Amino acid sequence: MINSEGDVYKLNREDTFSYFTSTDVTTNDIAISEEGIIYGITANGLIEIKKGTHEVLPNTEGMYGNSLVYAGSGDLYYIHKKSLYRYNVNSEAVELISNFDLGTPGDLTLYKGNIIFPNSIIPIDGSESYSRILAYNLKSGLISEVACSDLFGVSFGITNVFSNCKSNKVYFTNLNYPWENLYTVDLETGEIAISSIKVPANNIFGLASSNEYLAADCHEELRTKNCRSIFSIDEFLSESTKVYPNPTNDIITVNSKVELDLIEIYDMNGKLVRKIEDPENGTSIKNLSSGNYLVNLHHKNSKKIIKVIKK
């Protein structure tokens, strides 16, 4: 990962980050080649990150953006002025791939032959804005919504840890509280969880993995979500469901105008500490340690997350 100061960190086997290298220019995102070369995207072009410095890649001056991913064979993909471009570090050629008129707050990754990126939208009819993850299929050129959450609107980093074409783990950052941990998202189910991996600071500009490029050779059309309809449900749940008292030292009461299917309580390390199926009016957290918890309230395809303080 890279932060706003240009410091690059690597993830160790113990799931902790340590300093790796740095660059002398503000870098909005990074990508890693097969050989371990670290590339970046800045306000004035694509760069190769050296030890404490950088080198602008030929023919990329003026190509700016927030997002970058390496797809193998020297290909770097990035979004510039809401269009998708490809740059090959071997031929030094820049190619326009799609005028899809889409932006992202900060990153790209690869997943099952798709370029994946967070995106927010403000509907022209004046209805509620919403955030989602989009997939651009490298083979067909089709774009689809594959996950929906307000968290994606403030996600500057996203990456995929590749195992094989059927097994991937997608991580993303979140600028809102709790920002201390990386999040995971299952792009098949849309399920989001807080991982146990802690980030160095709340100024992460980009994520990259050393093997996400392998996912470019997989080819699969992903299941499409309808984020607008899901966010309409979420808005109703948000307005109709309350949790109190907060803080509490024992019982939390859930007052909801809709029938909840499930209540899950997570600690701040992302560990599930309590699961209540077919919940009624409340639950006791008396036996939990003092601290902050995330209470997930589920209703059909909608989920509301509330931070609760246990005294």
Q: Which residue has the higher pLDDT, 271 or 269?
A: 271
The pLDDT, as a whole number, for residue 128 is 64
- In the chain, pLDDT over 70 holds for what percent of residues? 89
Cis peptide before 105 (omega within 30 of 0): no
Q: How confident is the model at residue 301 (pLDDT cuts 50, 70, 90)?
A: low
Q: Is the pLDDT assigned to residue 257 strictly greater than 60?
A: yes
Q: How confident is the model at residue 233 (pLDDT cuts 50, 70, 90)?
A: very low
For the 230-310 domain, the top CATH level (class) is: mainly beta
- Average pLDDT estimate for 230-257: 70
- Average pLDDT estimate for 280-293: 81
Q: Which residue has the higher pLDDT, 55 or 292?
A: 55
Q: How far apart are CA 238 and CA 155, in angstroms?
A: 21
Q: Which residue has the higher pLDDT, 297 or 129?
A: 297
Which tokens go with 224? 């499409």
- Average pLDDT estimate for 135-142: 93
Q: How far apart are CA 250 and CA 117, in angstroms?
A: 41
Q: Is the pLDDT assigned to residue 236 strictly greater than 50?
A: no
Average pLDDT in the chain: 86
The pLDDT, as a whole number, for residue 141 is 92
Cβ proximity of 257 and 241 under 8 Å: yes
Q: How confident is the model at residue 229 (pLDDT cuts 50, 70, 90)?
A: low
Nearest to 220 by CA among 147, 64, 111, 123: 111
Query: Phi and psi of 237, rounded to 5°?
Result: -65, -40
For the 2-225 domain, the top CATH level (class) is: mainly beta
Q: How confident is the model at residue 169 (pLDDT cuts 50, 70, 90)?
A: very high
Q: Is the pLDDT assigned to residue 160 strictly greater than 80?
A: yes
Domain positions in the chain: 2-225, 230-310
The pLDDT, as a whole number, for residue 235 is 46
Tell me: the pLDDT tens digits for 69-88?
999 999 999 999 999 999 99
Q: Is the pLDDT assigned to residue 43 strictly greater than 50?
A: yes
- In the chain, pLDDT over 90 holds for what percent of residues? 47
Report field, pTM of the whole predicted structure over 0.85: no
Tell me: the pLDDT tens digits for 101-121?
898 888 999 999 999 999 887
The pLDDT, as a whole number, for residue 96 is 97
